[in-house]
Amino acid sequence: MTYEAVIGLESHVELLTETKLFCSCPNEFGAEPNTNVCPVCLGLPGSLPVLNERAVELALRLAEALNFTVPERSLFARKNYFYPDMPKDFQISQYEEPILADGQLEIDGVMIGIERAHLEEDTGKSLHVGGGGRIHEAAHSLIDYNRAGVPLMEIVSRPDIRTAEQARAYVAELRGVLLAIGLSDVKMEEGSMRVDANVSLRKTGASEFGTKVEVKNMNSLRSLGRASEHEIERQAAVLDAGERIPQETRHWDESEGRTHGMRSKEGSSDYRYFPEPDLLPVSPTAEARDKARGSLPELPAAMRARLVNLGISEQGARTLVDAGLATHTSTAVVNLAVGKARDVEVLELGAVLAHINETGESPTDLRLTAEGTAELADLVASGVISGSQGKEVAAVSLTAGTSPKAVVEERGLAQVSDESELAAIIDAVIAANPDEVAAYRAGDEKAQKKKRGFFMGEAMKATKGSGNPQVLNSLLDDRLKG
């Protein structure tokens, strides 16, 4: 039997705000447990939440980036459930009226619909002590409320995704957009972005959807891809055996490479949603929307298009944009004298990316500047140094901050000073350019200086940049006298 997979993704991201969603406690990771708390985020009786305006600003930026509709008003709702790390026994979220509706994201020419994006508060964190950190073996549990009330946005795609690879690509692109607009730092490994995958199968050609299974606990793009792939295969085997897929939530086990059943999924009625009586509806003004539009930076898709227009390959552009090297690369290409975009691409994808991966340095304050990269690409393109020497020089410039030209000179990269060897080269250059020699001899001081540069350039090229400039100069003095 052949099946088609249907996937919808629910992405939770932590917002990059200074303070929590409904109080002025710092939104900060790694503080002493239970220090970033107040009566509001601890849910003490009589405390009242006040909405963080910055969270709304970020949502409006996302609206511009992903083409969402911003409803005239949205509402907060109480989602009721009992869990020890929820100080209030309910979570303030949005339900029937989210802040953003009906967005979309283009993935390799296919539009993936986004049903909604809404704001909600995060819960606290439990720490199970003893028994390897698992709740059922723990002697006791500790609770840290620092994360309680931290602003989250949940972004819910439509079931428009058809393959595990497309699911990965959607999340990769979404991350890029969220990062570009400063909404979140989207670190899946650290939990500031968490993605649940809803997966179902239907017979190829069928129009009805099958029963979906929600898969949780993927903490990298790679595990999202693996988990989706595995779930598709598991469901196909169940259906092939003539059985039905029960609607449930499953847990991805990274080391086993499989999903486990967790619990049958709560229906929304289990949460007894009702409007939050302590918060006003949110009605963003036209000015706020204009401001969001005006503050929108260049998005990844536009960056890629810009790089490809400059002559960078599609795949290279994707990698460079994801690595934060779009501006470094494009500035280098624009500054080239003789090299091509391809020469820059080789350096950026090779030496520069390796340096960033090794050191964790920010792409925006590299010691090999974009202009320096152009200089280096020119040195390679004109044959002054070889490609592998270019890589070496880049590594030195990236660590020491010395300009590539200076590195080439200082290190006398395979510099040749042997006079008879260089004399042969100068003689060949002179013999190959009789017109230039005649022009030199007939020229005034200014013209001679210019021609001198030409002969030096030719000699340097012939020695692949390794000729000792002093020796070459004195040889030129001698041969050009006439």
- What residues make contact with ligand ADP under the rule CB under 6 A? 6-10, 156-159, 198-200, 209-210, 212, 268
Distance CA 441, CA 425 (A): 20
- How far apart (Å, rounded) are the C-alpha atoms in residues 148 and 194? 16
In the bound state with Zn ion, the residue whose beta carbon lies nearer, of 41 and 197, is 41
User: CB nearest ligand ADP: which residue?
Assistant: 8
**Nearest Cα to 273, choosing from 83, 43, 84, 95?**
95
Query: Between residues 38 and 354, which has the closer beta carbon with respect to Zn ion?
Result: 38
Question: Which of ligand ADP, Zn ion, none does 349 bind, CB closer than 5 to 8 A by kind?
Answer: none
429 binds, among Zn ion, ligand ADP, none (CB under 5 to 8 A by kind): none
The residue (of 38 and 262) whose beta carbon lies closer to Zn ion is 38
For the bound state, the minimum distance from the C-beta of residue 266 to ligand ADP, rounded and expressed in Å, comes to: 9
Phi, psi of 32 (to 5 degrees): -50, 135
Given CA atoms 34, 37, 41, 47 in this order, what sign does their dihedral have? positive
Q: CB-based contacts of 127: which residues, under 8 Å, 6+ apart?
A: 133, 141, 142, 143, 144
Q: Which is nearer to Zn ion, 13 or 148 (CB)?
A: 148
State which residue, 83 or 209, has the beta carbon closest to ligand ADP. 209
Using the minimum distance from each CB to Zn ion, give the nearer residue, 5 or 41: 41
Name the binder of 339 from ligand ADP, Zn ion, none, CB < 5-8 A by kind: none
Q: State in angstroms the smallest separation of the CB of 21 from ligand ADP.
A: 21
**Cα separations in angstroms, 419 against 390, 412, 471, 474, 475:** 26, 16, 7, 10, 8
What beta strand segments (E) does 88-192 contain? 90-93, 100-107, 110-121, 125-129, 140-144, 151-157
The CB-of-289 to Zn ion minimum distance in angstroms stands at: 29
Cα(117)–Cα(109) distance, integer angstroms = 22
Mapping DSSP to helix (H, G, I), strand (E, B) and coil, where does residue 386 land? coil
Smallest distance, ligand ADP to C-beta of residue 3, A = 12
Q: Among 15, 16, 41, 179, indicate the residue that binds Zn ion (CB under 5 A).
A: 41
Q: What is the DSSP string of 412-478?
A: TTT-B--HHHHHHHHHHHHHH-HHHHHHHHHS-HHHHHHHHHHHHHHHHHHTTT-B-HHHHHHHHHH
Select the binding partner of residue 25 from ligand ADP, Zn ion, none (C-beta < 5 to 8 A, by kind): Zn ion
Residue linked to tokens 């929307």: 289
Toward Zn ion, which CB reaches closer, 44 or 428? 44
Q: Exposed, middle or buried by CB within 10 Å (0-12, 13-18, 19+), for 385?
A: buried
DSSP 3-state of 249? strand
Closer CB to Zn ion, residue 36 or residue 200?
A: 36
Roughly how many angstroms between the first and final C-alpha of the chain, as a whole number?
Answer: 87
Would you say 252 and 227 are in contact if contact means Cβ atoms under 8 Å apart? Answer: yes
Work out which of 9, 21, 25, 429 binds Zn ion, going by CB under 5 A.
25
By the rule CB under 5 A, 51 interacts with Zn ion: no
Closer to Zn ion at the Cβ: 42 or 236? 42
Q: At what angle do helices 445-462 and 419-432 cross, to 10 degrees?
A: 120
User: 157 is in the binding site of which of ligand ADP, Zn ion, none (Cβ under 5 to 8 A by kind)?
Assistant: ligand ADP
Name the minimum Å distance from CB 94 to ligand ADP.
13
Question: Min. distance of Cβ 40 from Zn ion in angstroms?
Answer: 5
- 379 contact choice in Zn ion, ligand ADP, none (CB below 5 to 8 Å, kind-dependent): none
151 binds, among ligand ADP, Zn ion, none (CB under 5 to 8 A by kind): none
Location of structure tokens 């990844």:
300
Q: What is the DSSP string of 51-68?
A: --HHHHHHHHHHHHHTT-
User: Which partner, ligand ADP, Zn ion, none, binds residue 38 by CB below 5 to 8 Å per kind?
Assistant: Zn ion
205 phi/psi in degrees, rounded to 5: 95, -15
Could you say whether residue 38 binds Zn ion (CB under 5 A)?
yes
Output 10 or 409, the one with its CB closest to ligand ADP.
10
Question: Quick check: 23 binds Zn ion (CB under 5 A)?
Answer: yes
**What is the C-alpha separation between 327 and 303, in angstroms, rounded?**
9
Residue 249 binding: pick among ligand ADP, Zn ion, none (C-beta 5-8 Å cut-off by kind):
none
Residue 6 binds which of ligand ADP, Zn ion, none (CB < 5-8 A, kind-dependent): ligand ADP
Residue 137's φ and ψ, nearest 5 degrees, are: -105, -5
Shortest spacing between CB 237 and ligand ADP, in angstroms: 18
Of 33-41, 84-92, 119-127, 155-163, the window that binds Zn ion (rule: CB under 5 A) is 33-41
Asked if residues 7 and 230 have their Cβ atoms less than 8 Å apart, the reply is: no
Which does residue 74 touch among Zn ion, ligand ADP, none (CB within 5 to 8 A, set by kind)?
Answer: none
Q: Is 38 or 299 the residue whose CB approaches Zn ion more closely?
A: 38
Interaction site with Zn ion (CB under 5 A): 23, 25, 38, 40-41
